[in-house]
Amino acid sequence: MEISWIQAALLGLFACLSSMPGLGGTSIGNYTLGRPLIGGLVCGIILGDIYSGILVGVAMQVVYIALVTPGGTVSADVRAVSYIGIPLAMIALKSYGLDAGSADGQAMATSFGTMVGTLGTVLFYGTATINLVWQHIGWRAVEKGDFNKLYVVNMGLPWISHILCSFIPTLIMCKMGAPMVELIKNYLPMDGIAMMTLFTVGSLLPCVGIAILLKQIATKAVDFIPFFFGFTLAAALGINLVSATVIAGMFALINYRIKMLAINKPAAASETDDDDEEDI
Amino acid sequence: MEKKLTKKTLTKSFHNWYYGNLTCFSQEHMQTFGYLCSMLPVVNELYDKQEDKAKAMQTYTAFFNTEPQIGSVIVGMTAGLEEARANGDDVDDETINGLRAGLMGPLAGIGDSLVVGTVIPILLGVALGMSDGGSPLGAIFYIIVWNLFAYFGMKFLYFKGYELGGKAVDFLVGPQGEALRESITMLGGIVIGAVAATWVSVSTSFTLTAEGATEPYLNLQKTLDSVYPGFLTAAFVMLCWYLLAKRKMSPIKVMLLLVVIAFVGVLVGFFNPGLQY
C-alpha cells in the first residue's frame, strides 16, 4: 500500500490538531481526534479503507483507554499513536496479508501503536520545549502592553512547533511507510527482546496514569477502598463500566446525603438563615 | 455608570478558553497563556485606559494549570470578579490570584477523576463495543456525544462561574462544596478502579513445567488471579502510586523505572506478550 504525499500531508495536519497540547483545542483535538478509535476512522477515510482503519483503531484504543495526562505528564503521545502508528500498522497488515480483524492482525496493530506511542513522547516534550520560545515573546508583549499579540503567541506561533514536531515527523514516517515497516520488521522482530520490552512497557505505562489520578484522590490507606471496590466490581464480579458507574453513583449519593446531614444539623439547631445555600 | 460585560464578550472569552486553554503549552507555564487570552476580551471591554488594562492583565500572568474542562468555571468566576473590580468593588490581585491558586488544585482533582478518569473511558468503552466489527458507528457516536457534552458542559460552568463570581468559592470550598467534592471523588475512585480492572492488564507468562509433562504445575498468572482477580495490575498501580506519592518520584522517573522492569522481566521470562508475525 502506497501513501501519497497528499495523504501523508493530511495525516500530518491531523497530527498537529490532535496532540496534547494540540491545535485543535483540548476537547476537539486531544480528547476527540487524538483518541485512537477516532484516529482509526480519520486514517481510514484518508487512506480509503475505513474497515481496517477502525479495526486497527479499536485495537490501539484498548491499550490507551485509561490514558490520562494529569499535570501535563504524557506517558504515550496520541498524535504518534493515531496518525503514525495507525497508518504504519495498516501498511504492515497489507504487506503481511493479514486481516485487521484477526487475532494476529490485532496483536500486530497493538504492538505498532504501543511502540510508536512510547517513542512518540519525544514529540510531546519537543513541542512543549519549542513553545517556551513563543511564551518568551508573549511575556515581552505583556510587558509592553501589546496584548493583542497574545492571540498570535497562544494560537498562531505554536503552529511552528507543530510543523517541526508533528507535521514533518508524521509526513516522513507515513510517506516512508513501506520501507519503515520493513525496517521495523528487520531490526525489531516481534519475538525479539526489544519489541517484547516495548510491548510490556506499553501495558505497564497506563498504571502510571492511573497512579497519578490516585495520588490526587488518595493520601491514606482508607482512601484506597473506593478504588479497590471498583476494581473488584470489574475484575472479580465482571460488572461493566456503565453499571459500575451506577453503583458508584449510588454510594456517592449516600455519602453526600450523610455529609449534608452532619452539616445541616448544627445549623438547624441554632436556627440561622442558612436556607440560601440551597439555591446554589 | 455600572459596567456590565455583554453576552458577546463573555462568549468570546469562553471560546478563547474552550479552544486555546492548552494550545501554547509548556512545562513552565502550562495554561497561563490560554488564561491571558480568555481574559483579554473581558479586560478590553471593562477598561478604557491602557494602564488600567495593563494592571488588570498583570493579575493573570500568574501560573495557572488545572483540568481545562472543569476549570472553565474558574475562568468564568474571574470574569465576574474583574467586572466587580472595574465597578469599584473591593477586589484586589491577591483575592483573584488566591482564588485561582486555591481552586485549581481541587478542581483538577475533580476534573481528572470525573471527566478524564470516568466520562471518557465510559464513552470510549461504549464506542468500542459499537465499532467491534469494523463499523464506524462507535467512532461517530463518541465524536458527537463527547463534544456536545464537553462544549455545553464547559459553557454552563463558565457562565455559572461568572454569575456566582466570588460566591462560587463558598460553594466550591465551603462545607457543602467539600461534601460534594468528597462524594464526586468517591465516585471517581470507584470508577477508576473499574477502568483499571477492565482496561489495564498486566499479566505474567511465568510458568514451571515438570519434565515430560504437558501442563505446567505452576502457572503464576492463574495462581495470582485465584488470590485476587487482576492482582498484578493492582500491584503495579500500587507500586506506581507508592513511588509517586510516598517516594516523591517524578512521573518520568517512574516511567523509566517501568522500562527497566519490563526489560528485566522479559529477560527472565516473567513478561512475554506472546507476539509473532
Condensed to tens digits (0 to 9), the pLDDT of residues B195-208 reads 888 878 888 888 88
Name the residue with higher pLDDT: A2 or A81.
A81
Residues listed for chain B: 277
CB atoms inside a 10 Å sphere around CB B218: 11
Pairing assessment for the beta strands B218-219 and B207-208 based on DSSP bridges: antiparallel
Cis ω before A169 (30° cut-off from 0) = no
Does residue B149 share a domain with residue B253? no
Inter-chain CB proximity A214 and B192 less than 8 Å: yes
- Interchain proximity B109–A255, CB inside 8 Å: no
Domain end, chosen from B164, B195, B226, is at B195
Say yes or no: B183 and B215 in one domain.
Answer: no
Cell numbers placing A209: 496514569
- Mean per-residue pLDDT for B257-270? 88
Tally the domains of chain B: 2
Taking the CA of residue B248 and the nearest CA in chain A, the distance in Å comes to 11
Give A174 to chain B, closest Cα distance, Å.
21
Q: Which of A199, A217, A235 is the last residue of a domain?
A: A217
Res. A273: pLDDT tops 70: no
Q: What is the structure's pLDDT at A253? A: 95
Percent over 70 (pLDDT), chain A = 90
**B64 - beta bridge partners?**
B30
Chain B neighbors of A265, CB-CB under 8 A? none
Let me know whether A206 and A269 are in one domain: no
Check residues B124 and B171 and name the one with the higher pLDDT.
B124
Give A-chain residues touching B273 at CB under 8 angstroms: 111, 196, 199-200, 203
Residues A213 and A225 in one domain: no
Distance in angstroms (rounded) separating the CA atoms of residues B253 and B255: 5
- pLDDT tens readout for residues A202-212: 778 778 878 87
| Same domain for B57 and B26 | yes
Categorize the per-residue pLDDT at B223 as very low, low, confident or very high, splitting at 50, 70 and 90. confident
Confidence at residue A107, expressed as pLDDT on a 0 to 100 scale: 72
Quick check: B24 and A154 CB within 8 A?
yes
Assess if residue B276 is contained within a domain. Answer: no
Q: Same structural domain for residues B115 and B74?
A: yes
CB of B186 closer than 8 Å to CB of A251: yes
Q: What is the pLDDT of residues A159-195, one digit of tens each?
A: 999 999 999 999 998 988 878 788 777 777 767 787 7
In this model, does residue B129 exceed pLDDT 50? yes
Cβ of B171 within 8 Å of Cβ of A280? The answer is: yes
**Residues B197 and B125: beta-carbon distance below 8 Å:** no
pLDDT of residue B204: 87
Q: CB–CB of B184/B114 below 8 Å?
A: yes
Q: Residue A212's CB: how many other CB atoms inside 10 A?
A: 22
Mean pLDDT of A119-145: 88
Boundary-marking domain end, from B169, B195, B221 = B195
Instruction: Say how many domains are in chain A.
Output: 2
Residues 6+ apart with CB under 8 A from A208: A73, A75, B240, B244, B251, B254, B255, B258
In a domain, B275, yes or no: no
Pair A273, A201 in one domain: no
Asked if the C-beta of A104 comes within 8 angstroms of chain B's C-beta atoms, the answer is yes
Cell of A184: 521495523
Cα distances from B51 to residues A133, A147, B45, B48, in angstroms, run 26, 12, 14, 9
pLDDT tens sequence across A58-94: 888 877 776 766 655 676 788 998 999 999 989 888 8
**Which one of A131, A147, A245 has the shortest CB-CB distance to B26?**
A131
**Residues A159 and A177 grouped into a single domain:** yes
State whether B134 and A134 contact (CB < 8 Å): no
- pLDDT, tens digit, 9 for 90 and up, residues B228-253: 999 999 999 999 999 988 888 887 78
Closest-CA distance, B57 to chain A, in angstroms, reads: 8
Q: If we measure between CA atoms, which residue out of A245, A278, A250, A244 comes closest to residue A263?
A: A278
User: Is B245 exposed, middle or buried (CB count within 10 Å of its CB: 0-12, 13-18, 19+)?
Assistant: middle
B93 touches chain A (CB under 8 A): no
3-class DSSP state of B208: strand
The reply to whether B20 and B132 lie within a common domain is yes
CB contact under 8 A, B121 and A70: no
Q: Which of residues 238-267 of B touch A (CB under 8 A)?
A: 238-241, 243-245, 251-252, 254-255, 258-259, 261-263, 265-267
Q: What is the mean pLDDT of residues A117-124?
A: 82
Averaged pLDDT for residues B73-88: 89
Minimal-distance CA residue of chain A relative to B65: A71
Buried b / exposed e over B167-203, threshold 16 CB at 10 Å, is ebbeebeeebbebbbebbbbbbbbbbbbbbbbbbebb
Q: Among A139, A244, A253, whose Cβ lies nearest the Cβ of B191? A: A244
Q: Would you place residue A268 in the very low, low, confident or very high pLDDT band (cuts 50, 70, 90)?
A: low
Residues A213 and A227 in one domain: no
End-to-end CA distance of chain A: 59
Is B211 in CB contact (< 8 Å) with chain A?
A: no
Domain match, A128 and A104 both = yes
ipTM for the complex shown: 0.83
3-state secondary structure A222-280: HHHHHHHHHHHHHHCCCCCHHHHHHHHHHHHHHHHHHHHHHHHHHHHHHCCCCHHHHHC
pLDDT at A250 over 90: yes
Tell me whether residues B26 and A101 touch, CB distance under 8 A: no
Contact at CB, B259 and A248, closer than 8 angstroms:
no
In this structure, the answer to whether residues B42 and B68 fall within a common structural domain is yes
- Do A225 and A273 have their domain in common? yes
- Using pLDDT thresholds of 50, 70 and 90, give the confidence band for residue A277: very low
Rounded Cα distance, B145 and B62, in Å: 34
Assess A150–B contact: CB distance below 8 Å, yes or no.
Answer: yes
Q: Where does the pLDDT of residue B93 fall: very low under 50, low under 70, confident under 90, or very high at 90 and above?
A: confident
Q: Is residue B277 part of a domain?
A: no
CB pair distance less than 8 Å for A66 and B179: no
Q: How far apart are alpha carbons B45 and B17 in whole angstroms?
A: 17
Instruction: Name which of A58, A122, A41, A53 is nearest A89 in CA terms.
Output: A53
Nearest neighbour of A235 by CB, restricted to B146, B230, B240 = B230
B275 lies within 8 A of chain A by CB: yes
Q: How far apart are CA A190 and CA A177, in angstroms?
A: 18
**Mean pLDDT within B79-95:** 87
Same domain? B209 vs B182: no
Question: Which amino acid is residue A156, in one-letter code?
Answer: G
pLDDT of residue A278: 47
Half-sphere CA count of A249, side-chain side, radius 13 A = 9
pLDDT single digits (tens) B177-200: 788 888 888 888 898 888 888 878
Residue bearing the bigger pLDDT, B208 or A269: B208
- Please check whether residues A196 and A251 belong to one and the same domain: no
| pLDDT for the residue A267 | 59
How far apart CA A103 and CA A101 sit, in angstroms, is 7
Between residues A115 and A71, the one the model is more confident about: A115
Based on the fold, state whether residues B101 and B64 are members of the same structural domain: yes
For the segment B87-101, the average pLDDT, to the nearest whole number, is 86
Domain span at residue A265?
221-279
* Res. A280: pLDDT tops 60: no
Question: Is the pLDDT assigned to residue B53 strictly greater than 70?
Answer: yes
Assess B186–A contact: CB distance below 8 Å, yes or no: yes
Mean pLDDT of all residues in B126-149: 92
Q: Which of A41-50, A265-274, B123-132 has the lowest mean pLDDT?
A: A265-274
Are residues B171 and B213 part of one domain?
A: no
Q: Does B40 touch chain A (CB under 8 A)?
A: yes
Q: Which pLDDT belongs to residue A75?
A: 67
For residues B132 and A201, what is the distance between their CA atoms, to the nearest angstrom?
25
- Residue A279 binned pLDDT confidence (cut-offs 50, 70, 90): very low
Can you give the residue range of the structural domain that contains B125?
Answer: 7-195
Q: Which of A200, A240, A254 to mutate to test the interface with B (most CBs of B within 10 A)?
A: A200
B52 interfacial to chain A (CB closer than 8 Å): no
Q: Where are the beta strands (DSSP E) in chain B?
A: 207-208, 218-219
The answer to whether position B168 is within a domain reads yes
Q: What is the mean pLDDT of chain A?
A: 84
Based on the domain organization, do A55 and A94 belong to the same domain?
A: yes
**Inter-residue contact A38 to A85 (CB < 8 Å):** no
Q: List b or e across A63-100, with b for residues whose CB sees 16 or more CB atoms inside 10 angstroms.
A: bbbbbbbbbbbbbbbbbbbbbbbbbbbbbbbbeeebeb
User: Are B190 and B223 in a shared domain?
Assistant: no
Q: What cell numbers appear for A187 in the block?
A: 531490526
Q: What is the mean pLDDT of chain B?
A: 87
Model confidence at A42: pLDDT above 50: yes
Cell for B104? Answer: 485549581
Q: Are A244 and A252 in contact (CB under 8 A)?
A: no
Check whether residue B244 and residue B153 sit in a common domain. Answer: no
Q: Is residue B155 part of a domain?
A: yes
Last residue of a domain, one of A165, A186, A217: A217
